[in-house]
Structure 1
Amino acid sequence: MEIIFIERLKKARKYIRMGILLALLACVLFLIGFGLLFTYAKVAGPPPLSVPQTVTFYAQDGSVIGEMSHGEKRYWVPLKDISPFLTAATVSIEDQHFYQHHGFDGKRIGGAIVADIKAGAKVQGASTITQQYARNLFLGHDKTWERKIVEALYTVRLETNYTKAQILEGYLNTIYYGHGAYGVEAASRFYFGKSAKDLTLAEASILAGIPKGPTYYSPMDHLENAKSRQKLILRAMVRNHKISQKEALSAQTVALSFGTKPYIEKEQLAPYFVDSAKAQLINELKIDPDMIKTKGLKVYTTLNPSLQKIAEETVRSTVADYSDIQIALTAINPNNGQVQALVGGRDYEQSSFNRATQAVRQPGSTMKPFLYYAALKEGFTPSTEMKSEPTTFTMADGVSKYTPSNYNNYYADGPITLAQAIALSDNVYAVKTDMFIGEKKLIETAKLLGISTPLKEVPSLALGTSGVKQVEMANAYGILANGGKEVKPSFIQRIETYDGQTVYEEPIQQKQLLDPKVAFVTNQLMTGMFDPKLNDYTSVTGTPILKQLSHDYSGKSGTTLTDSWMIGSSPELTTAVWSGYDDNREMTSPPERKYTKEIWATFMEKALRNQGASSFSTPKGVVGVLVNPDNGKLATSTCPVARLTYYVKGTEPTEYCTEHLHHKKVKKVKPAPQKHWYNSLWDWVR
């Protein structure tokens, strides 16, 4: 017996040694495997945490004016800007050992296996927050072994390369909370109308329960289910010593309202402007498309909300409700090209077509300042005279004829000065000027001023028969107003990523495009439309709105059969207003043509009501002299009217007016003709 016992003991020792050896081998293999896994995680490096994020657009005052999503409405916020109630609630219900494990909770895995065996089916999950984060970032929700292995590898890489705070921040910003809201910030705004940092315990404990089943636990769809899970979460928070029992009971009794705060479906301000800013972001600034999609960009725009409200209200109150005429308005800071306000149509819901930036319309006489800048460069002065009379021009082919006409066929039937021609919008003078300096000069000047729409080289171009875009016209007038410095229409000042990294800053334009002296003189010629001293065979074109104006302005109106324009500037603001029909039908009633001037005058006066009086700065090399506006000669004490007129130094008149030395001649102004419906059917109007 003793021999048998000894033999068995020897065998037992052998098995024990083998077991110990196998255990040691297993430990070694485990350590090797762990080492290889750790090495893999380090070599592979941190996995990219890129997820679609919503781009947010801000006005100058920091208010949100629009958004752009990429299939998932998400705003990435740092952990410090998330309510501690929400982080505690999430960790307590989703992964209470989150800060102790390294991506996998062995105790929880074991418990889940036992529960599943007892139930004979999968009834309990064991995924940690890190595993869920890996799944949200890189994987689908299919339950294959291949997916689980890849998930495990991503989990190791996350835990190896990121801190717990970074993992929790990422998880909270990627998890789905239902109703199209991804991440805590979007969910907080959607359900409670507030930022995630402002969530109360009651709100946070409701929100933390939704990811378990976004539809089943949505408080907007199934409040009873949401409240039941809230209790479970609050008990877990008490158990984990995050809150007291008293706080938990109090939170359960708080009556909450959902989806009724300002963040929910709030009215969008300046939708046409936001569309333009989006277009600039995507098409012009060359920002990496992946960055636009995944970096939660904060786009700080040039929009002035106060001016935008004035613009929208002015259009709304001026145009008759029953009319289907369209209006576009662009207001630009002439000193930097920043678009301050923009109206692309009367109703964005009915038509998102942006008439300020997309429509190509005939500008009428608003082309004339470009022509006269070119003429001044070619030797014209404000005193240059030409006859205003019916004229037929023979084209270069020697056969074709062109006969422009003035408004209501009114003519001076004698010479008028350039200063009068632009103030009265004399069409014959304009075409004569264009033919005299060469038709290419107007096109070259327009291009220099930023008009990119192709222009036709025809005599009628001087009268605005070739289509242009309003935003370009506003910018061109701004260049004339700022003394000829290059500016370009811009909607975006600065762009930052969600974490504050600046990726774009609007460049400062300082290039001198125009001769500053000639630009100033041109701009001063444009003040003539508001000066009755230039009245002659008809009144200056700004007469209908003169009583409304209290600031110094330069400007020009323009009208064709289908389009009406008014563009003008103060030193601080340039505004273009257009009206017309989308189907290009003619405007047959006088009120339709009055809208642009009325809207322009009302908008400019309200926009500048808090501004002190300011004047355009006179550059060196420009002189102002008193002249008789009838003939452009130096005025004497006997002249009935004397007007201060500016010239490039050396081009000012030297001859004195002698017409009134022996008698005082009072200028006669033809009375305004009686208005009939057919008066508005003119060929080309000023």
Structure 2
Amino acid sequence: MRFDMKIRKRKKAVIRKMILIAACCPLLLLIGFAILIVSAKIAGPMDIPVTRPAIFYDNSGQVIGKWDTDNRHWIDIEKMAPSIKLATLAIEDRRFFRHHGFDFRRVVQSALVDMRSLSKAQGASTITMQYAKNLFLTNDKTWMRKVSEVFYTMRLEMNESKKDILEGYLNTIYYGHGAYGAEAAAQIYFNRHANDLSLAQSSMLAGIPNGPSLYSPLIHYDMAKKRQRIVLDTMVKSGFLTRKRADIAYHAPLNLVHQKQGAGSSAEKAPYFQDAVRRELTERLHISRKMLASGGLKVYTTLDMDTQTSAEYWLKHTIPDQSKIQTALVALDPKNGGVVAMIGGRDYQESPYNRAISARRSPGSAFKPFLYYAALRNGFTPSTRLKSEPTAFAFDDGRSSYRPNNFGGYYADKPITMAQALALSDNVFAVKTHLAIGMNQLVSAARRAGISSPLAPIPSLALGSKPVSVLELARGYATFANQGGRIQPALITKVTDRRGHLLYEWKPEKKQVLNRQASFVLSQMMTGIFDRRLNGYTHVTGGPVADVLTHKIAAKTGSTATDSWMAGFTPDLVTAVWVGYDRNVTINASPDSGYAKTIWSHVMESALSGTPKNHFKPPKGVVQVSIDPKSGLRAGKGCEGRPTYFIKGTEPSAYCGEPKKKQPVGKKKQKSLLDRLFHWWR
């Protein structure tokens, strides 16, 4: 009995405590609310932030754009059509002029609806609350943000008139397609001013902010019409309209502007580059969007407008307007990695997708320089000769075979030098080299040079079968241009706040990852694609644009069934160009395959105008020898000589035209390393 009494007493004590806590909660809430009211009153009027988007500058200090390219046009509320004000009030906050920032009746109604539907279907935010959030807060769903929202709402209501709050709201709310505010939205959707909006147009606009992408009449017309009907019905319930006028407005023509307009403008300078800068600011430098939108920051970039303008000009004048083919280009300074030009597609308005950074395509023979660098580090020289003929290669311990083809089905059917194989883009020579040195050697060389996309030690990797980005390939070539020094591509040199205080400063870094001598010898081999002295069973691949160039440039072409590439460099500039279709459509042999070469050659020549014709300087440990292109031997009497660089000690000693020394009777000729390596093929 006593035990039962104790249990009852404990239960009563717990119940009393729960009742006391329940009674205190409203009291505590009231006290907290009172504290917020007093704090808001003491804090006084707020400085409504003026929009100061970050300004972007090129490498000469000229303005090229800003963080916020959206349409914002602040206008007085008197210059807005009455219908847009009434429609907004009806759908967003019909008791706006009767509450003091918080509509408690709407909160209760919203809660009841949510409980019945077991979802958060109803919102209870007033116009003042939404305006406060737009001005000062993020979209974080935390208790602290909610408290801050209440605090800022109180300050607005205490210190601003209802007219000013409504004006501010109607000038800052987002209507989709880059339009902030009723004036910008009226121009985007209807090509007219907010003062000239009809009731039909106003009721359509008022429904969009609830879901700008869902209710855009330019994208989802049917959904937008359903939302317009809800707005008009709410206006009728609010006493702003008669049912007859609402029905007439619903069926009235909207006169929509059917051309979709994005955030970027066709007149915007280097739009793909600027998009990449915006991404760098938020993702790498971790600068908040709020600070970038209104903090008055200055962002100094690596962009060279002369090079960018030249690239855009040659793209436009090379590819016909009616063609659906796409292109991408990256030009950078190899000494520090600064990107001086970037094109991510033919028309930013039509497609803002940046193919220079985000797309990955097979580079074809443009990948061979990484292979031949590895070969130079594994016993090959520019004079090494291998036979160019149709060949089936066995690999994976004989369990698999691979049969590459030369372009057009042409073969020398005799030995050619590595220098000539690179100039003619001989595929059989490349695969023989790849297998001879070990397939992991190419993977390792490409990785060290800066290729980060997935690679695999397979025979076809020698022919660029694994996709890379245009920026990646440019970075890899920059490593050769730097004689083995790898850089990190950069877009931004400095960021300052509006008072000039430094927030970020670029510090270029270069890491020596490849052998200097081998990198230089490779770069000089790559100049051979323009040298007709290396013509053989076919022509050098750079021949069609060789006459455009007046500077000494190292380069390589690349092609697959769906991609055309041209990439090359001097010690001062690297440029990589890709041309192809977005969905891997087969490109035409002519003229599609020639676009990349034309764009690349003209951009390089324009950018290098006024600079010395040859900026390549050989490092210590390399020698220049006059070589007969056909035999790979030193040029002797009756042989045409071509200057060729070698790592010191690997240059040939024999001369072409000399009689072969007879092998003494009874002695076998010692097989060379390459003879032994290829013995198993025969």
Deviation of the 1:483 alpha carbon: 1.3
Query: Are residues 1:328 and 2:354 paired?
Result: no
Query: Are residues 1:460 and 2:460 paired?
Result: yes
Aligned match of 2:470? 470
SS of 1:398's partner is: coil
Deviation of the 1:337 alpha carbon: 1.1
Distance 2:286 2:347 in 1: 31
Paired amino acid for 2:54: V
Distance 2:600 2:482 in 1: 19
Paired amino acid for 1:653: P
Distance 1:584 1:528 in 2: 30
Paired amino acid for 1:587: I
* Identical pairs, percent: 45
Does structure 2 conserve the Cα–Cα contact (< 8 Å) formed by 1:299 and 1:494?
yes
Deviation of the 1:570 alpha carbon: 2.2
Q: What whole-Å deviation, never above 9, does each CA across 1:359-399 have from its counterpart, x for those lacking one?
A: 11010001100001111111211111111111100121423
Aligned match of 2:653? 654
Aligned match of 2:230? none
Distance 2:462 2:47 in 1: 58
Distance 2:445 2:588 in 1: 33
Query: Are residues 1:499 and 2:512 paired?
Result: no
User: Residue 456 and residue 633 in structure 1: after superposition, are their counterparts in 2 closer, same or farther (change >3 A)?
Assistant: same
Distance 1:652 1:440 in 2: 26
Deviation of the 1:138 alpha carbon: 6.4
Distance 1:436 1:500 in 2: 58
Deviation of the 1:484 alpha carbon: 1.5
Does structure 2 conserve the Cα–Cα contact (< 8 Å) formed by 1:73 and 1:181?
no
Does structure 1 conserve the Cα–Cα contact (< 8 Å) formed by 2:378 and 2:437?
yes
SS of 1:620's partner is: coil
Q: What whole-Å deviation, never above 9, does each CA across 1:274-328 have from its counterpart, x for those lacking one?
A: 1111122222234456654553332111111111111111011111122101111
Distance 1:137 1:459 in 2: 58
Query: Are residues 1:376 and 2:387 paired?
Result: no
Does structure 2 conserve the Cα–Cα contact (< 8 Å) formed by 1:334 and 1:482?
yes
> Which is greater in Rg?
1
User: Residue 500 and residue 462 in structure 1: after superposition, are their counterparts in 2 closer, same or farther (change >3 A)?
Assistant: same
User: Residue 134 and residue 372 in structure 1: after superposition, are their counterparts in 2 closer, same or farther (change >3 A)?
Assistant: closer
Query: Are residues 1:54 and 2:53 paired?
Result: yes
Distance 2:394 2:282 in 1: 48
Distance 2:365 2:512 in 1: 26
Distance 2:48 2:350 in 1: 40
Deviation of the 1:536 alpha carbon: 1.6
Distance 2:152 2:538 in 1: 82
User: Residue 625 and residue 74 in structure 1: after superposition, are their counterparts in 2 closer, same or farther (change >3 A)?
Assistant: farther
Matches within 5 A, 1:205-244: none
Distance 1:478 1:149 in 2: 55
Aligned match of 2:449? 449
Paired amino acid for 2:57: Y
Deviation of the 1:507 alpha carbon: 1.4
User: Residue 48 and residue 524 in structure 1: after superposition, are their counterparts in 2 closer, same or farther (change >3 A)?
Assistant: farther
Aligned match of 1:642? 641
Deviation of the 1:266 alpha carbon: 8.0
Q: What whole-Å deviation, never above 9, does each CA across 1:486-506 have from its counterpart, x for those lacking one?
A: 212211111112221211111
Distance 1:290 1:504 in 2: 17
Q: What whole-Å deviation, never above 9, does each CA across 1:79-128 have from its counterpart, x for those lacking one?
A: xxxxxxxxxxxxxxxxxxxxxxxxxxxxxxxxxxxxxxxxxx99xxxxxx
Distance 1:500 1:405 in 2: 60
SS of 2:591's partner is: helix
Aligned match of 1:68? 67
Matches within 5 A, 1:46-445: 53-69=52-68, 179-180=171-172, 267-287=267-287, 291-292=291-292, 295-445=295-445
User: Residue 289 and residue 570 in structure 1: after superposition, are their counterparts in 2 closer, same or farther (change >3 A)?
Assistant: same
Paired amino acid for 1:519: S
Runs in 1 of length 4+ with deviation above 4 angstroms? 46-53, 70-75, 133-139, 146-155, 175-182, 220-223, 288-294
SS of 1:618's partner is: coil
Deviation of the 1:56 alpha carbon: 2.5
Paired amino acid for 2:373: Y
Paired amino acid for 2:496: E
Paired amino acid for 1:574: V
Aligned match of 1:621? 621
Q: What whole-Å deviation, never above 9, does each CA across 1:259-282 have from its counterpart, x for those lacking one?
A: xxxxx9782111111111112222
SS of 1:590's partner is: coil
Does structure 2 conserve the Cα–Cα contact (< 8 Å) formed by 1:634 and 1:656?
yes
Aligned match of 1:109? none
Residues matched between the structures, number: 492
Paired amino acid for 2:639: P
Gaps of 5+ in 2: 1-38, 75-96, 99-130, 138-146, 160-166, 175-181, 184-192, 197-263, 661-682
Does structure 2 conserve the Cα–Cα contact (< 8 Å) formed by 1:53 and 1:74?
no
Distance 1:136 1:588 in 2: 51
User: Residue 490 and residue 134 in structure 1: after superposition, are their counterparts in 2 closer, same or farther (change >3 A)?
Assistant: closer
Gaps of 5+ in 1: 1-39, 76-120, 123-132, 140-145, 159-174, 183-189, 192-219, 224-263, 662-686
Distance 2:311 2:62 in 1: 18
Deviation of the 1:432 alpha carbon: 0.5
